Amino acid sequence: MNDWNGAGLETFHEVPPKYYQKPMPTLLAECRETKKKLGDDLLILAHHYQQDDTYSLADHSGDSLKLAQIAADSKAKYIVFCGVHFMVESADILTRDDQIAILPALTAGCSMADMADMDQIEDCWEHVMEVTENETMIPVTYINSAASLKAFVAKKGGVVCTSSNSAKILTWAFSKGKRVFFFPDQHLGRNTAKAMGIPKEQMALWDRAKDDGGLSAQQIRQSKILLWDGYCSVHQRFSAEQIRQVRQRIPGVQVMVHPECTEETVDAADFSGSTSAILNKVREAKPGTKWAIGTEINMVHRMAKELKAAPHHKYIEVLNPNVCICSTMYRNHPAHVAYILDGLSQGKVMNQILVEPETARLARQALQGMLELSR
Instruction: List pLDDT tens digits, range 301-343.
Output: 999 999 998 889 999 999 997 877 888 888 899 999 999 999 9
- Is residue 243, in this structure, part of any structural domain at all? yes
Residues in the chain: 375
Strands 179-183 and 315-318: unpaired
- Is residue 2, in this structure, part of any structural domain at all? no
pLDDT at 147: 95
Which candidate, 219, 185, 184, places its Cα nearest to that of 203? 219
* pLDDT bucket at 210, cuts 50 / 70 / 90: very high
- The residue among 228, 256, 281 that closes a domain is 228
Query: In this predicted model, what pLDDT tens digit does every residue of 244-267 receive, in sequence order?
Result: 999 999 999 999 999 999 999 999
How far apart are alpha carbons 190 and 198 in whole angstroms?
9
Which candidate, 344, 370, 266, places its Cα nearest to that of 77? 344
CA-based angle 275:279:280, to the nearest 5? 115
**Same domain for 87 and 27:** yes
- Is residue 170, in this structure, part of any structural domain at all? yes
- Is residue 4, in this structure, part of any structural domain at all? no
Q: Does 12 score more than 80 pLDDT?
A: no
- Is residue 128, in this structure, part of any structural domain at all? yes
CATH code, 346: 3.40.50.10800
How far apart are alpha carbons 22 and 215 in whole angstroms?
55
* pLDDT bucket at 13, cuts 50 / 70 / 90: low
Domain span holding position 143: 113-228
**Same domain for 27 and 94:** yes
pLDDT at 11: 44
How far apart are alpha carbons 184 and 254 in whole angstroms?
29
* pLDDT bucket at 145, cuts 50 / 70 / 90: very high
Top pLDDT among 108 and 292 is at 292
- Is residue 1, in this structure, part of any structural domain at all? no
Mean pLDDT score across all residues of the chain: 92
Contact between residue 51 and residue 330 where contact means Cβ atoms under 8 Å apart: yes
**Same domain for 126 and 73:** no
**Structural domains counted in the chain:** 3
